[in-house]
């Protein structure tokens, strides 16, 4: 899938690896969540199979659903903005400050706005357009964190009764939850605020108002970060 997405290939032959339908589901979303650099990714995939006499599906190929072509993405603007933000982040003293800078930059430059766009769920939503939903916030944070050498993943589940995505990042040998979207609330008077309620927090803290429902195992975060 990585090779297919790198070349925007329409189909990937999986007939020789013996994956099940469940395997494919888990693998695709792990791939999607782990690779925010692929701005062309859409909302899923389709597959072909041959039905076996026992009712099982013999998986033959997978097709990634691309939302855009490379010509529809401002890759140059994305790369230059990322380079500028990373330069500032890297100039901060200490790992906490570096991740905090990225967190703050996304909050201060992004408005949560669900529109019918091709970028709202991708990293260029915050980076170029300043508009995104939770998936765009999360992928942008992940892209910056990964670019600085930090292990970072996307986590899916629910919050306030709706589907939601946020991050986990490894700092000083320990994993923590980061929900940049929920640290960017719209206040009752219509103004925007920068919060740290969901920055480097534990499993226990995130589970007070979030539910985790990933198709794969995620690391544990036993405690909040202590400066």
- C-alpha 200, offset from chain centre: 16
User: How do residues 17-47 score in pLDDT, each as one tens digit?
Assistant: 888 888 888 889 889 989 999 998 877 899 9
**187-203 pLDDT, tens per residue?**
656 667 899 999 999 99
Give me the architecture of the 82-212 domain, per CATH. Answer: Roll (3.10)
Q: For residue 166, which of 193, 203, 128, 111 has the smallest C-alpha distance?
A: 203
Q: What is the pLDDT of residue 191?
A: 66
Q: At what angle do helices 134-147 and 95-109 cross, to 10 degrees?
A: 150
Which mean pLDDT values do the consecutive 10-residue runs of the chain (227 residues) have?
Answer: 86 86 89 90 86 83 87 91 97 97 96 84 94 95 97 94 95 97 76 88 96 91 92
182: left (phi over 0), alpha (psi -120 to 50) or beta: alpha
Contact (Cβ atoms closer than 8 angstroms) between residue 120 and residue 114? yes
Residues 6+ away with beta carbon under 8 Å from 155: 138, 165, 166, 167, 168, 177, 212, 214, 218
> 155: closest CA among 106, 98, 223, 211?
211
Domain ranges of the chain: 2-71, 82-212
How far apart are alpha carbons 179 and 167 in whole angstroms? 6
User: Cα(122)–Cα(41) distance, rounded to whole angstroms?
Assistant: 8
């Amino acid at each position: 899938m990585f090779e297919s997405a790198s070349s925007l290939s329409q189909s990937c032959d999986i007939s020789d690896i013996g994956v099940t339908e469940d395997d494919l589901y888990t693998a695709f979303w792990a791939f999607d969540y782990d690779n925010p650099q692929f701005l062309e990714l859409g909302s899923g995939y389709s597959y072909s199979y041959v039905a076996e006499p026992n009712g099982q599906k013999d998986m033959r190929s997978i097709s990634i659903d691309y939302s855009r072509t490379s010509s529809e993405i401002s890759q140059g603007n994305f790369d230059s903005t990322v380079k500028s933000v990373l330069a500032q982040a890297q100039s901060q003293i200490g790992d906490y400050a570096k991740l905090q800078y990225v967190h703050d930059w996304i909050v201060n430059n992004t408005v949560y706005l669900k529109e019918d766009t091709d970028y709202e769920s991708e990293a260029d939503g915050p980076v170029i357009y300043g508009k995104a939903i939770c998936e765009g916030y999360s992928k942008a944070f992940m892209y910056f964190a990964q670019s600085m050498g930090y292990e970072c993943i996307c986590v899916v589940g629910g919050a306030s009764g709706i589907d939601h995505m946020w991050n986990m990042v490894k700092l000083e040998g320990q994993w923590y939850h980061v929900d940049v979207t929920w640290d960017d609330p719209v206040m009752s008077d219509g103004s925007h605020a920068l919060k740290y309620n969901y920055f480097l927090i534990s499993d226990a803290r995130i589970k007070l108002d979030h539910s985790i429902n990933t198709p794969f195992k995620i690391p544990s975060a036993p405690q909040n970060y202590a400066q």
